[in-house]
Amino acid sequence: MIDSVASEKLDRKSQSERIREVIAQYRHPSTAKASWQLVNTLLPCLAMWVLMFLSLHVSYWLTLLLAIPTAAFVVRSFIIFHDCGHGSFLRSRRAMQIIGFFTGLLTLTPTASWWADHWRHHASTGDLDRRGVGDVWMMTVEDYESSPWWLRLWYRIYRHPLFMFLFGPFFVFVIVQRFPRPWAKKREVLSVIWMNLALVAVWTTLALTVGIKSYLMVHLPVLVLSGMAGFWLFYVQHNFEFAYWRKSPEHDGAQAALTGSSYFALPRVLQWFSGNIGFHHIHHLSPLIPNYSLESCHKQLPELNNVVKLNLRTSLRSLSLRLWDQSTDRLISFGELKRRRLGEPSHC
């Protein structure tokens, strides 16, 4: 019995060492791959914007149709912005600052401010005592039941799909990101100021050239579509039934990365436009792996195939899961909570 336990511990140690060795192989940025990604993302993205403006003279229905691929390229551009924040996209930190600034312009996102919040998200993923920065607001059943009626109502509104995916992106990208966080450091505050000034310059230039009406007719549908897609990708990566949430004393960072982040298996074209971010368990294991290496790393680690795997169909169930139940370590729906109160059996 003792030999069996010792052997199991040795196997786990060997597996952990192998995972660390494989991850270390993919932490190094590739200038060639990064450069090609910039070319095949930013140039088509800008070309699609030009086509959208030209299409206004043909049919606005055509403009709206073109907004779909344009938004997809904006999402892919945001993944580059995201990687620059992790310092994984290129070897040159200066180059990533510049690339991050211009890709941030496409999504109205300040560099240092968003990057700092996102690092906090990585540091606190799965930690119930450190929720609230860089993540989706989530209440536990205990939180919800002990809250006043007006807070429970606001939480229900906030977590409703129509609010979260239609109003949420506009509110975050257009309004929230125009102001620095109360706890922001000087560098983060300056990044907000510089981004706001750059946006004013861009908006003024476009208003004087193509006209404010034309600009809004082009930009708003792209903003809505890319925001919805981006929010959905982020949401489904951490909001699923058997995710990982623990109080700080019990929290394990590696476990949170593997069981608190999903593997969102997308069709090949959507995987490309989302910059491989569906391999989110790999990304949380090591944020220093650039997006263009995530799939290769995933293929080298078959022992991680037991992570939660979602696809487009199964991910839709996450929409109804809104409260973390500490008694069963599951994300549950308001409907299940109601059935419990009525003494009815839950449907797991």
pLDDT digits (tens, 9 = 90+) for 19-60: 889 999 999 999 999 999 999 999 999 999 999 999 999 999
pLDDT at residue 11, as a whole number: 53
d(CA 81, CA 103): 6
Residues 78-130 pLDDT 10s = 999 999 999 999 999 999 999 999 999 999 999 999 999 999 999 888 999 98
What single letter denotes the amino acid at residue 266? L
DSSP string, 162-230: HIIIIIHHHIIIIIGGGS--TT--HHHHHHHHHHHHHHHHHHHHHHHHT-HHHHHHHHHHHHHHHHHHH
Least reliable range by pLDDT among 68-77, 91-100, 218-227, 240-249: 240-249
Beta-carbon contacts of residue 156 (< 8 Å; ≥ 6 apart): 322, 334
Q: How far apart are CA 253 and CA 285, in angstroms?
A: 9
332 DSSP β-pair partners: 323
Q: Does the pLDDT value for residue 13 go beyond 70? A: no
Q: Return the SS3 of 17.
A: helix
Q: CA Rg, the chain, in Å?
A: 22
105 vs 304 pLDDT, higher one: 105
Tokens 């551009």 locate to 77
Where in the chain are the domains?
Answer: 17-311
pLDDT, mean over the chain: 90
- Please report where in the chains the tokens 């009626």 appear, as a residue: 149
* pLDDT tens-digit map of 128-170: 998 878 788 999 999 999 999 999 999 999 999 999 999 999 9
Q: Given this model, what pLDDT does residue 14 score?
A: 67
Burial per residue of 277-289, b for 16 or more beta-carbon CB atoms within 10 angstroms, e otherwise: bbbbbbbbbbbbb
Tokens in use for 106?
A: 């496409």
For position 8, what pLDDT does the model report? 46
| pLDDT more than 70, % of the chain | 94
